[in-house]
Structure 1
Amino acid sequence: MNTTQRALAVGLGAVLLQALMLIAFAWPAANIAPRDVPLAVTGPQAAMVADQLGLHSPDAFDISNPADEAAARAAIEDREVYGAIVTGGGAPRVLIASGASPAVAQQLSAIAQQLSGAPAAQVEDVVAADADDPRGTAFGAMVLPLVMSGIAAGVLLTLVIPAAGGRLVGLATFSFGGGLLSMAIIQGWMSVVPGPYLGLAAVAGLVSFSVSGTVVGLASAIGRAGIGIAALTMLLIGNPFSAATSAPELLPRPWGAIGQLLPPGAAASLLRSVAYFDGAGATKPLVVLLIWAAVALALLGVGAVRGRNTDTPQPSVTAPEPVAA
């Protein structure tokens, strides 16, 4: 293949990559709609309201029926549902949790107006988003820098540090320092995310280690092709389907669920749980991130063993001297 043919091949490859990125980032945003969003409906008219919701928006909500308003509030605070509709004593009231998802909270507020027939429907934000970031814009924008910096750190460690032990030290340093500094910026300077500083810093550090460790681990185990595989997985699949600015139930199936199994989606869910819900609903995303971190360490170990076997000198075999007859 001559230079012109290589140039054409590279150009066509870049075109395909651009098309994939447009599809990955624009398609989920263009198809946001409620799909089995967990919602609680309680009170004497709960059955009627559930029927109305089913007729108006089929398959939009996964409706549960808690015993009373207190149980519905508890379900919201435990991240079992995104909101609740309370009937009885006049027009239905809607309880939302903008801390869980401003996008879902906005849709439930619109439903409240439809149910009551009044523009100023009774809506109560049980778990509100930060006052400095009511729409969750800054929160959603926080996940992508964590992912991109993790990829960059993984690439640098792979290219600059040859030894597995040195790469592990670099990963630990980046994760520890990055978690502390990133949350100092987000909470101290921007003041857009509430919650315990050390807890959020630990989450950010774990996310950084999972992403950068995956890059380093794959590159150590299978070579530099692992850098591209890890980076494309995090950026083309993990980030657009992370639901950091919406909710997994608003994305097309099954991509919303798949996104929660990758570090960007698990990071968004875990940060919300720690920041707004005192850790409620944190188990699943925490386990996902820990599994990615463990896999990264295992791949790094595989790379270390391969490197050790490659560097071990093989014993030379000398031919026996001929014996005179």
Structure 2
Amino acid sequence: MSDHPAPPPAPTTGTEVPQPGAARKLVAVLLGLTAVVTLMLCAFALPSVNGGPHRVPIGVSGPQAAAQSLQKTLDGDEWNVTVYDSVEALTSAVEDREITGGLVLAPEGVDVYTATAGAPMAGSALTALANSVAAEQQTKPTLHELAPFPEDDPRGAGFSSAALPLVFGGMIPAVLLTRLFPGHAGLRTRLAGAALFSLFAGASVAAFLQWGTGSLAGDYGITALGLSLGMAALSLTFIGLEALTGMAGFGIGAAVMMLLGNPLSGLGTGPYWLPGGWAAVGQLLPPGASGSLLRANAFFDGTGAGAPALVLTAWVVLGLALILIADRRGAKAVRTGAASAKPAAPVPSV
């Protein structure tokens, strides 16, 4: 063994040596963030750029020859035209949400029937179409609004602004509850918390939109329950994804709802303003279904609420199924851990 003392450590210059692979990791992170920003731009910009009337269902009534001629002229990529025998039949179809509006032809002019609360952009496009038809007769159209937004919010601004709160109303409680009550031990607490939060938040949002901004009409209790169902569909699904697959699953679910569900919800325009395939996808995701359910309950006395309510119920069932699977898996892991930690029985001495 040498008696020489160990050499002193080399003096540091104050400049840290980069970790191996740090440059590659930085490049990967930057490329990933760029891809996320680009995807967000595509998700929000493409529906707007490609927005417009896409097979919007409308009705036409009047003298049979004139109505059928107009149907033949309009029926195509923008309008899906149905001829009705009478004004009463056409207006009933609008109120039952079979069509978004209609034109009634008469020798003295054109009457246009709209339901702005059901499809705002389609209603505006139909009014513009009525102006063109009336101009050919050298008259002006007479507008009849069958389902308007409330007087306190005639443009539906408050209704349209509910899109992001509906998404974050499901996402934020899932994150907070997961942080506060982590692991298998807190899973059932997270489930109860998400369900209760959905009820409280649905009641609060409905009250604010109905009485605070005057943006909603209809029965408050039904509207609040519909909003609660939408928030439960999101929060329970997020909690189930996190419990079963960790934060990676939560992140994928959040990306789908933010990048697809929100821009394709059609909350501000109505679903007919999006291309057919995009509109269908949007209505199958919780934000779109929540918006359609809110529209039906708030302005049409529940007409058309069945399909979006069924979609949201299916998402709630999916979330509960994920939570149940995660709960059983966690319970099994706890039992396995307890069994492995149990001390072995002592060997009796001879």
Match of 1:46 among 56, 67, 71: 67
Secondary structure of 2:144's counterpart equals strand
What's the CA shift for 1:274?
Answer: 0.5
Secondary structure of 2:152's counterpart equals coil
1:165 aligns with 2:202: no
TM-score by length of 1: 0.93
Secondary structure of 2:284's counterpart equals coil
Contact 1:260 1:285 in 2 (8 A): yes
1:184-223 matches, within 5 Å, as 184-223=207-246
What's the CA shift for 1:7?
Answer: 2.3
What's the CA shift for 1:90?
Answer: 2.4
What's the CA shift for 1:11?
Answer: 1.5
1:301 aligns with 2:324: yes
Who is 1:18 aligned against? 37
* Residues in 2 aligned to 1:131 and 1:260: alpha-carbon distance in whole angstroms: 28
Who is 2:8 aligned against? none
The code of the aligned residue for 1:33 comes to G
1:310 aligns with 2:328: no
* Residues in 1 aligned to 2:58 and 2:244: alpha-carbon distance in whole angstroms: 45
1:165-314 matches, within 5 Å, as 165-312=188-335, 313-314=338-339
Who is 2:170 aligned against? 150
The code of the aligned residue for 2:125 comes to Q
Match of 1:7 among 10, 21, 26: 26
What's the CA shift for 1:187?
Answer: 1.5
Secondary structure of 2:112's counterpart equals strand
Identity %: 36
Give CA deviations for 1:13-33 in whole Å, capped at 9, x if unaligned.
110000000000011011111
Distance 1:119 1:250, change over 3 A: farther
1:29 aligns with 2:48: yes
Who is 2:146 aligned against? 126
Contact 1:96 1:105 in 2 (8 A): yes
The code of the aligned residue for 1:28 comes to P
* Residues in 2 aligned to 1:195 and 1:214: alpha-carbon distance in whole angstroms: 29
Give CA deviations for 1:237-272 in whole Å, capped at 9, x if unaligned.
100000011122211231111100000111111111
What's the CA shift for 1:10?
Answer: 1.4
The code of the aligned residue for 1:171 comes to A
- The gaps in structure 2 that reach 5 residues or longer are 1-19
What's the CA shift for 1:318?
Answer: 6.4
* Residues in 2 aligned to 1:3 and 1:195: alpha-carbon distance in whole angstroms: 58
Give CA deviations for 1:184-210 in whole Å, capped at 9, x if unaligned.
211121111111111111111111111
Match of 2:112 among 79, 84, 94: 94
Alignment RMSD (CA, Å): 2.0
* Residues in 1 aligned to 2:344 and 2:196: alpha-carbon distance in whole angstroms: 48
* Residues in 2 aligned to 1:276 and 1:320: alpha-carbon distance in whole angstroms: 74
Contact 2:59 2:101 in 1 (8 A): yes
Who is 2:17 aligned against? none
Contact 1:102 1:129 in 2 (8 A): no
Q: Of the two, which has the highest radius of gyration?
A: 2
Contact 1:221 1:300 in 2 (8 A): yes
How many pairs were matched up? 319
Distance 1:264 1:119, change over 3 A: farther
